[in-house]
Structure 1
Amino acid sequence: MTTTGAQQDGTGTTTRSLLWWGRRRSVALDVGLGLVSAFECALEGVGFAEKAAIPVPIGVLFGLVVGSVLVLRRRWPIAVVLVSIATTPAEMGYLMGVVGLYTLAASDVPRRITATLAGMSLAATLIVTFVRVRQDVASADFDPEPGAWYVPTMAGFMSLGLTAPPVLFGLYIGARRRLMESLRERADSLEQELSLLADRAEQRAQWARTEERTRIAREMHDVVAHRVSLMVVHAAALQAVALKDPQKAVRNAALVGDMGRQALTELREMLGVLRAGENDARAAKPVPLAAVGVAAAAAAAAAADDGPCLADLEGLVGQSRQAGMVVELAVQGEAREYAPEVEQTAYRVVQEALTNVHKHAAGAKVLVRLAHRAAEVAMQVENGAPDASGGGPAAELPSGGNGLVGMRERVLALGGVFVSGPTDAGGFRVSAVLPDRDGWGEQQL
């Protein structure tokens, strides 16, 4: 395993790895410091050789080797500091000691190790400085003689000056670097979170748009399908009796006109609600998600407030009777007001069930049951087997197959229960139970 080799950067060019430095500027700085330290130790090696009574070239060579150790300060700061402490008695390597202590304090080495080595360096420097100052005082001719405090005070100041500043500055630089790295990591984390939030906001906006389109499609189906189905039934009856009973034909024609006008009125109301929701969405800019939510909520609330209610069931049943259907309405329990969306959903379920009878079971008898219970309202529409003489085939009503799906979606959206299926007698039954939301709110209060 080697530490050097060719590597390819993001631009496609091939560069050589820089060992443990990572940047050319760091290489130049450390090599420069190593050369200066080696030159310093070589000069100080001359004096060391004279004191140790060894050849000067050996002292110079020793100084060069010791000083060049500073090049390794980023990779092995502890080794650099230990070498500087070991050479302190030889009075060489001051630059190496200062830079080594700074690098050690700024690195990720545990603080107890840094404190121990800094203390050892301080003690070694204090001892050497104390001896050197005392020798200088003894060899010099002072008038008057300095006091006993002079030597330890000067030694203390000099040792602290060589040890404390690099350690404190290194601790500051290390703490600042770690703080910047922490802030950079937090910034990256926040950027990722913002990206996730933006994606989720876009998903919620898409979901809100999908829900609104589904609701609009369901409302259009409920409004148009029932009215147009009755209009087709009356038109078929009008065609059958036009020559035989002109008076009945006139009544049927009037009914067709009334139903057409009612369908147009309901369509205009729905379009008005949609335009109001669109205006609310534009007013809510520049927050797209809030605009979508406001528009959907406003449209849904307006549609629920302006839509039909349970009190209109009698008129709904009457329209089917006028179209020739035999319909019986049975109400159980004491009638009361429910939340607007509950009453509208109950009305739409009965309306769509009667529409399906017109489409698929012409001439069948129908029983509509409505039950007001303690905390819910239940409705059921059950028809018998189709009667071939009821004119069903002549009406030729198309079916998109979305009626039951829309009813189920409406009921389940309010937390209700929806069941539909054929009966043993050959007919069909639609049942739904809706919770009384106003009653729940009073219990929670």
Structure 2
Amino acid sequence: MTATGAHRDAAGTPARGWWWWGRRRSAVLDIGLALMSALECALEGVGFAGKAGLPVPLGVLFGLSVGSVLLVRRKWPIAVVLVSIAVAPAEMGYLMGMVGLYTLAASEVPRRITAALAGMSTVAVFLVTMVRLRQDITQADAGRQDFDPSGWYVPVVSLFMTLGLNAPPVLTGLYVGARRRLMESLRERADSLEQELSSLADRAEQRAQWARQEERTRIAREMHDVVAHRVSLMVVHAAALQAVALKDPQKAVRNAALVGDMGRQALSELREMLGVLREDVPAGAPSAVPLAAVGRAAAAAAEAASEDGPCLDALEALVEQSRAAGVVVELTVLGEARAYGAEVERTAYRVVQEALTNVHKHAAGAKVVVRLAHREAEVAMQVENGPCDAAVADARLPSGGNGLVGMRERVTRLGGVFVSGPTDAGGFRVSAVLPATGRAA
């Protein structure tokens, strides 16, 4: 609700004002009907007092008290109808009976009770009307022998008069009550639908936010794997270049060439990744890219990465890069090599790549053993390094602490198992097992 709407509600103009005005109008209507019914019953009480042999003021007072029962018609409609049935023999309360039947039919009283009371009222009015009509006809035609009021005329006319009095208020009340219940049901359904739409919008926003977070995490992981390894090797080669620049010019030239190659490879991979992410963004688009464009770019990036990303065939070249940087790396392959899914091979490659990057960062001069095992339903990899060599200068590579986290996310996403930790010999071991099917969790 807006601030203006809240202020107007508090002032009682739109919502509370209409409710208050509706209640006031209903109260005025009830009072007016009760006064009319009391006046009617008071006039009819004069005749009742004469027939019953009572004082006229007592009959008028009785009629006023009976007619005022309409004040409680909304709260106790059954009581109003019962009173109208009770005073029917006194030939009073016709307005009260009609209004009471209407209120009863339009209320939430069970239909079987409404039908029973409407039937009782109809029978009572029918009997009173028939008796009164017979008396009137008898008095008017006492001297006539050609007309017998005890035949079909009196019952038929009494029935029509009774139905004319009771049927319209009952039918009208049933219609008004059904319409009110229908409107309430539609209003409740509209409110429920509005709440459901709001809930769906909230869930859609949560899913969109989750998708954006997942895509940011995936891109950050890819950027980390691509940049960290290449730049780490560049730093290692640059340190070696600085150390041998004056002593061994030929080796310095080779190290400089390796640094250049690493830089070009890193730039090439970054351009490919950024190019995929920019493919679905139209020219001149605003900085806030729509969610659909982000989703299409994410899907394209994931597909491109799966198809064009590194695989296990490039593992030997990856190990050679570390060897060229001066690290002693032993590669052992067990089992018969076979092709796996693109996501499985890329994840296995990234695990080994990140593990070797960590060796360059944290275990300078350590010996490294890379094991790759092809099994029947899975592929396993392990990278274990010994303690670092104190005689080897540390390249002072920074670490963001995201390498192990990224590896674990990659492996568990495919339903694999990831374990890492220090060894008893003072080194560090990274192990991962991936299912051959590589179904994403």
Structure 1 and Structure 2 fold alike (TM over 0.5): yes
What's the counterpart of residue 206 of structure 1? Answer: 209
In the TM superposition, residue 12 of structure 1 has moved relative to its aligned partner by 8.3
Question: What is the CA–CA distance in structure 2 between the aligned matches of 1:360 and 1:418, rounded to whole Å?
Answer: 20
- Code of the residue aligned with 1:125 in structure 2: it is V
- Decide whether the 8 Å contact of 1:226 with 1:352 is kept in 2: yes
Change beyond 3 A, Cα 1:379–1:143? farther
Deviates further, 243-252 or 137-146: 137-146
Question: What is the CA–CA distance in structure 2 between the aligned matches of 1:28 and 1:82, rounded to whole Å?
Answer: 24
RMSD of the alignment, in Å? 2.6
Question: What is the CA–CA distance in structure 2 between the aligned matches of 1:94 and 1:57, rounded to whole Å?
Answer: 21
What aligned pairs does 1:109-258 form with structure 2 within 5 A after superposition? 109-141=109-141, 145=147, 148-258=151-261
What aligned pairs does 1:278-317 form with structure 2 within 5 A after superposition? 278=281, 293-317=295-319
Question: What is the CA–CA distance in structure 2 between the aligned matches of 1:291 and 1:228, rounded to whole Å?
Answer: 31
Question: What is the CA–CA distance in structure 2 between the aligned matches of 1:197 and 1:122, rounded to whole Å?
Answer: 54
TM-score normalized by structure 1? 0.88
Deviates further, 236-245 or 138-147: 138-147
What's the counterpart of residue 346 of structure 1? Answer: 348
Pick the aligned partner of 2:276 from 273, 277, 299: 273
Identity of aligned residues (%): 79
Question: What is the CA–CA distance in structure 2 between the aligned matches of 1:189 and 1:102, rounded to whole Å?
Answer: 31
What's the counterpart of residue 103 of structure 1? Answer: 103
Pick the aligned partner of 1:375 from 374, 377, 380: 377
**Structure 1 regions of 5+ residues with no counterpart?**
1-8, 14-19
Change beyond 3 A, Cα 1:290–1:105? farther
What's the counterpart of residue 6 of structure 1? Answer: none
- Code of the residue aligned with 1:186 in structure 2: it is R
Change beyond 3 A, Cα 1:143–1:183? farther
In the TM superposition, residue 165 of structure 1 has moved relative to its aligned partner by 2.1
- Decide whether the 8 Å contact of 2:126 with 2:162 is kept in 1: yes
Question: What is the CA–CA distance in structure 2 between the aligned matches of 1:21 and 1:174, rounded to whole Å?
Answer: 21
In the TM superposition, residue 396 of structure 1 has moved relative to its aligned partner by 2.2
SS in 2 for 1:335: coil
SS in 2 for 1:388: coil
Question: What is the CA–CA distance in structure 1 between the aligned matches of 2:291 and 2:182, rounded to whole Å?
Answer: 36
SS in 2 for 1:380: strand
Change beyond 3 A, Cα 1:25–1:214? same
In the TM superposition, residue 300 of structure 1 has moved relative to its aligned partner by 2.3
- Decide whether the 8 Å contact of 2:372 with 2:382 is kept in 1: yes
- Decide whether the 8 Å contact of 1:277 with 1:299 is kept in 2: no
Question: What is the CA–CA distance in structure 2 between the aligned matches of 1:133 and 1:295, rounded to whole Å?
Answer: 91
Q: Deviation digits for residues 198-242 of structure 1, max 9, x if unmatched?
A: 222222222221111111111111111110111111111112222
What's the counterpart of residue 366 of structure 2? Answer: 364
**Structure 2 regions of 5+ residues with no counterpart?**
1-8, 14-19
Change beyond 3 A, Cα 1:198–1:292? farther
What's the counterpart of residue 259 of structure 1? Answer: 262
Deviates further, 94-103 or 301-310: 301-310
SS in 1 for 2:11: coil
What's the counterpart of residue 69 of structure 1? Answer: 69
- How many residue pairs were aligned? 421
Question: What is the CA–CA distance in structure 2 between the aligned matches of 1:230 and 1:277, rounded to whole Å?
Answer: 33
- Decide whether the 8 Å contact of 1:325 with 1:363 is kept in 2: yes
TM-score normalized by structure 2? 0.89
SS in 2 for 1:407: helix
What aligned pairs does 1:84-95 form with structure 2 within 5 A after superposition? 84-95=84-95
Question: What is the CA–CA distance in structure 2 between the aligned matches of 1:386 and 1:209, rounded to whole Å?
Answer: 40
- Decide whether the 8 Å contact of 2:276 with 2:297 is kept in 1: no
In the TM superposition, residue 330 of structure 1 has moved relative to its aligned partner by 1.4
In the TM superposition, residue 161 of structure 1 has moved relative to its aligned partner by 1.8
In the TM superposition, residue 164 of structure 1 has moved relative to its aligned partner by 2.1
Question: What is the CA–CA distance in structure 2 between the aligned matches of 1:100 and 1:23, rounded to whole Å?
Answer: 19
- Code of the residue aligned with 1:81 in structure 2: it is V
Question: What is the CA–CA distance in structure 1 between the aligned matches of 2:96 and 2:401, rounded to whole Å?
Answer: 88
